[in-house]
Structure 1
Amino acid sequence: MQDILTTYIPRVAVQPAFELIKANNVHLKIVNERVTRHGDYRKLPDGSHQITVNANLNPYRFLITLVHEIAHLVAFHKYGRLIKPHGKEWKYTFQTLMLPFLRPEIFPNSLLPLLAIHFKNPKATSDTDTRLALALKQFDPPNDKNYIFEIPPGGEFRLYNGKVFKRGNKRVKRYECVEVSTGRMYLFNPNAEVEYLQ
């Protein structure tokens, strides 16, 4: 398992991440990209714990996602299954588990201040933290995607499922976008990655 982790997370983080996996009896599955999530945790019918993480994540996002999912397991075990999945118990657990990894030997100096801010009150996904998401994206392999906020008003974009939208105005936090074929209005997170149709 440690050899496998070396492929996906920063080398200095391998041993402590392996200890977390071992201590919580996690079956880690590294899977092909899923567009809607970076990872997930589930308790299987036989009582074992399975965590899946997308193989295409950069090392820093992979590590954050792995610890995020282990935090679900630990929080449910400690506080019971009735807690909210991303409630205060999970946030506290995630902060506690992530703290030993927030070091310059593991994360680049450009990410550490943003991670410190993010972990004061972690969100359900780091993608909703625009500044952190942009900073993490710098470590992704180049792709042809744009964020919604980069698309000009009235510009059209395509989702992974082939649907085409036209970007509208920003509401409080999200952008109103009209599906071209149906005229239906949808709200998009500013840093959702899409294909800009120029």
Structure 2
Amino acid sequence: MNETLARYIPEHAVTPVFELIVANQVHLKIVNERVTRHGDYRKGIGGKHEITVNASLNKYRFLITLIHEISHLVAFEKFGRNIKPHGNEWKYTFQRMMVPFIRPEIFPGQLLPLLARHFRNPSASSDTDATLSLALKQFDAENDKNYVFELPYGSVFRIHNGKIFKKIALRTKRYECLEIKTGKIYLFNPNAEVELIPG
């Protein structure tokens, strides 16, 4: 298991993560990419704790995602199954479990202040923290995608499911985009990855 973990997370995180997996009796599955989520936790048949994480994540996002999912398990065990999945009990648990990993031996220096800020009040997804998400994305493998915030207004782009949109306007923190086929307006996070369609 340590050898497998070492392929997906930073070297100095392997032993403490392995200990968390053993202590919480986690059955970890590393799966092909799912666009809608980085990972998930469920209590399987016979009470087995199953966590899946996308294999395509860079090692820093993989670590954050894995601790995020283990925090669900720990919060449910400690506070009961009736808590909100991303409520205060989970936030408290995620903070406590993540803090020991926010160290320069594990994360690059430029990520440390962003992680410290994010974990004062962690959100359901690190993707909703645009600054942290963009900082993490610089460690992703090269791809031909653009971020919505980079595109000029009026640009036309495609998302993962093939739907085509036109970037219209900025509304507070997100961008209004018109779905070409239906004429409906959707809001996009600035760090959403899209494929620009040349004009």
TM-score (norm 1): 0.98
2:133 corresponds in structure 1 to 133
Any idea what the Cα deviations from partners look like across 1:110-167, whole Å, max 9, x if unmatched?
1101100000010111111111111111111111111111111111110111110001
1:181 corresponds in structure 2 to 181
Q: Give me the whole-angstrom Cα distance separating, in 1, the residues matched to 2:115 and 2:155.
A: 32
Query: Is the aligned partner of 1:24 residue 2:24?
Result: yes
1:156 corresponds in structure 2 to 156
2:33 corresponds in structure 1 to 33
Any idea what the Cα deviations from partners look like across 1:141-198, whole Å, max 9, x if unmatched?
1111111111111111101111100011121222111111111111112211111112
Any idea what the Cα deviations from partners look like across 1:41-97, whole Å, max 9, x if unmatched?
011132111000000110100000000000000001111111111111101100000
1:109 corresponds in structure 2 to 109
Q: Give me the whole-angstrom Cα distance separating, in 1, the residues matched to 2:28 and 2:92.
A: 23
Query: Is the aligned partner of 1:145 residue 2:145?
Result: yes
Give unmatched runs, 5+ long, in structure 2. none
Q: Where do residues 41-190 of structure 1 align in structure 2 (5 Å cutoff)?
A: 41-190=41-190
- Identity score, percent: 70
Q: How far off its partner does 1:7 sit?
A: 0.4
SS of the residue 2:136 aligns to = helix
Q: How many residues align?
A: 198
Kindly provide the amino acid, as one letter, of the partner of residue 152 in structure 1. Answer: P
1:2 corresponds in structure 2 to 2
Kindly provide the amino acid, as one letter, of the partner of residue 193 in structure 2. Answer: E
Q: Give me the whole-angstrom Cα distance separating, in 1, the residues matched to 2:88 and 2:168.
A: 34
Which of 170-179 and 73-82 deviates more?
170-179
Q: Give me the whole-angstrom Cα distance separating, in 2, the residues matched to 1:82 and 1:156.
A: 43
Which of 178-187 and 93-102 deviates more?
178-187
Q: Give me the whole-angstrom Cα distance separating, in 1, the residues matched to 2:31 and 2:39.
A: 9
Which of 184-193 and 14-23 deviates more?
184-193
Q: Give me the whole-angstrom Cα distance separating, in 2, the residues matched to 1:56 and 1:44.
A: 24
* Residue pair 2:130, 2:189 contacting (<8 A) in 1 also: no
Q: Give me the whole-angstrom Cα distance separating, in 1, the residues matched to 2:57 and 2:63.
A: 9
Kindly provide the amino acid, as one letter, of the partner of residue 147 in structure 1. Answer: Y
Any idea what the Cα deviations from partners look like across 1:5-25, whole Å, max 9, x if unmatched?
000001110000000111110
Indicate the RMSD between aligned Cα atoms, in angstroms.
0.8
Runs of 4+ in 1 over 2 A off after TM superposition: none
TM-score (norm 2): 0.97
Give unmatched runs, 5+ long, in structure 1. none
Kindly provide the amino acid, as one letter, of the partner of residue 85 in structure 1. Answer: P
Q: Give me the whole-angstrom Cα distance separating, in 2, the residues matched to 1:14 and 1:24.
A: 15
